[in-house]
Chains A and B, each alone.
Chain A
Amino acid sequence: TQLLEQSPQFLSIQEGENLTVYCNSSSVFSSLQWYRQEPGEGPVLLVTVVTGGEVKKLKRLTFQFGDARKDSSLHITAAQPGDTGLYLCAGLGGSQGNLIFGKGTKLSVKP
């Protein structure tokens, strides 16, 4: 069974601070996706990383895929209250190529 472990589970920081969220597995994934979910809504795709070592930037968010395609990280620079939410990593795997989700990191950014 392919598993994705996210850390930390909870993160509470002040506006302006930097943070990193980690997504680790013992399995290789063909790609990893990051989603953000707000209360009462479904997850929304932020980015997909496909190539080992790939780095993608989305404004203040930087996503990296590990060289061995087993792990990924999300770094937020100068966090803002609008970044508050549940961040989910997900990997394409399984026998049918379904999306397997980590349990998420709940981020709270206080003004």
Chain B
Amino acid sequence: NAGVTQTPKFQVLKTGQSMTLQCAQDMNHEYMSWYRQDPGMGLRLIHYSVGAGITDQGEVPNGYNVSRSTTEDFPLRLLSAAPSQTSVYFCASSLIVNSNYGYTFGSGTRLTVV
């Protein structure tokens, strides 16, 4: 039982490049989300999904796209990377939205944009 798997672990991009951060969970969780974590800012919600085919914006969605074609996968796309997107990105899942059972987090992707 792998939980939430994020790839890659580390990535360096040049300004303007695009890339996809992968997130997969094997727990049949309906709810999946992406957060970014920056020093002094805490964890901020980028996008989330309450089920396959349903996505919505969080607090800081600009510059990112998501899709959810299957229950298991929730990739995050950076369209044109900017230095302001340098951060650590976490994918998290939960059995359902509004769950008191808590979130399961991946181990993160550390992204540097130069």
Contacts and interface: CB of A to CB of B under 8 A. Distances in A.
B22 to A, nearest CB: 15
B94 to A, nearest CB: 8
A28 interface: no
Contacts of B48: 96, 98
Contacts, number: 62
Contact of A96 (B56, B92, B107): B56
- Number of chain A interface residues as a range: 20 to 34
Interface residues of B, number: 27
Interface of A: 30-31, 33, 35, 40-45, 48, 50, 88, 90, 92, 96-104
Contacts of B40: 103
Contacts of A103: 40-42
A103 B42 CA distance: 4
A43 B105 contact: yes
B107 A31 contact: no
B50 interface: yes
